[in-house]
Amino acid sequence: MAQEASMFSAADVAVTYSQSTGHDLPVEELRLPADLAWGVATAAYQIEGGAAQDGKGKSVWDTYSHLEPSRTNGQHADVACDHYNRMPEDVELIASLGAEVYRFSISWARVIPLGGRDDPVNEAGLAFYSDLIDRLVARGIEPVVTLYHWDTPQALYDRYGGPLDTAEFRADFASYARLCFDRFGGPNRVRRWVTFNEPYITSIFAHLNGTLAPGHCREANTDTKTEPWRVGHSLLLAHADAVLLYARDFQPANGGDVSIVLNGHFYEPFNAADPADVAAAERRMVFYIGWFADPVFLGSDYPAEMRAYLGARLPQFTAEDRDILRRAAPLNGFYGMNHYSTKYARQLKTPAADDDWTSNIEELSVDSEGREIGPSSAMGWLRVAPEGFRKLLCWVWRRYRVPIIITENGCPCVGEDDVATAVDDTFRRRYLGVYLDAISRAIHEDEVVVKGYYVWSLMDNYEWSAGYGPRYGIVHVDFKTLKRTPKNSAFYLRDTFKRRRGVSS
């Protein structure tokens, strides 16, 4: 399959671009397949707290969020939602909302405080996740585990730069993955694994523009022209190693599958009448998604468009690397898709900076005629554009032919600090409604295979460099008392999946 898929051309996966993003569509409550699992998602650093509790080591986020001057809105996640100490309560909360899946991440530094293959493990950290998994299974909730959600152990970054050193990082990640597969896997425990969450973000935002931990480009002697691509290269090969490891040593007894989660906007041309902008929209998709998805799911080299533009900046795969990617490609069980919004792409007429990573393409929320892509959420970049979501589902399915799981989708609303206002989250309910309709259309009209939908997020949490400002949760968290209060969107999701799938109450 990988060899046949690798022969696809851009024409085979072309999407009809339009300026209609569907943001004004009504919620139609369109039907969904009975086997489309729905769930909630979180990430360890964003909710756990317990920053130094029971032997946990530091991650790059523990360090980054305490830098002076602050790069995280003066806030950190030492306590966050205190999930580490309130986990049994949170499992009951998930069950009360009717969620069938809980996607969460393991803090690498909680289970191996120093991170390395020769470093001691932390049994207290392992016991926490084992207890969480057992409680989920007992309540009939499927655990879906992400091994890496941006939180490299600080000790590994100090030793060799984390993913900047491909060989060392691959060896340490493989050891960490083996530990998790061994301790948490099983036919009746964890059967669905994610290696890396959004490697694009780790590569670009953490190592090129420095807005996320470890903020590498702000340090001395960094090379933003080459290092982000080296990071991506390391993550790709570490992923393939883990897929082959699981298939060889764990899948025969445990079943289940392993894959990766990739984020991506959909792109419409800034000016649909300008061939340069039409081409830019497609090329931006390739640079954003194809960068990782082509090697992972096609077992191929980086996209030709990237090779042509980046030249020597893009690392080469050795013959051994190519063999590993080729063998791992058909073993990826699903395409994990994190998606929130759509943007316009404009081809710039003047050369961009030397470390340009977009092939000289500008991203905007307004097109050449002044039309917005859709209404804005509490984050200006995140706008309601469900037809863009549908087109992205089509683009990914036609290019890779792998079943898709929506591993993150959601939005923050304005004015959610006050619990009374937050509970009546009409904007979020409508966003979720039209995006679920888009999934229905993609499945039933476009014949896209979609197997799951996990909302981001279970609860309001620490939103990385934005601190506690944006609230994506379907459950409100009072960050002073840590009280959890479900919002109306939580009950909407519970009820709409029953209705749309024809599930009796």
By annotation, the residues acting in catalysis are 198, 408
* Beta carbons within 8 Å of 212's beta carbon, 6+ residues apart: 64, 150, 201, 202, 205, 206, 464, 465
Amino acid found at 122? N
- 3 state DSSP class of 347: strand
* Beta carbons within 8 Å of 229's beta carbon, 6+ residues apart: 203, 310, 313, 314, 315
Query: Residue 253, exposed/middle/buried by CB under 10 A (0-12, 13-18, 19+)?
Result: exposed
* Contact predicate 465/73, CB 8 Å: yes
* Contact predicate 264/285, CB 8 Å: yes
Give CA–CA dist 215/323, Å, rounded: 33
Strand stretches in 333-449, DSSP E: 335-338, 342-347, 361-364, 404-408
- 3 state DSSP class of 226: coil
Its sign, for the CA torsion 370, 372, 378, 379, is: negative
Q: Which of 395, 394, 405, 393 is nearest to 332 (CA)?
A: 405
Neighbours of 45 (CB within 10 A): 26
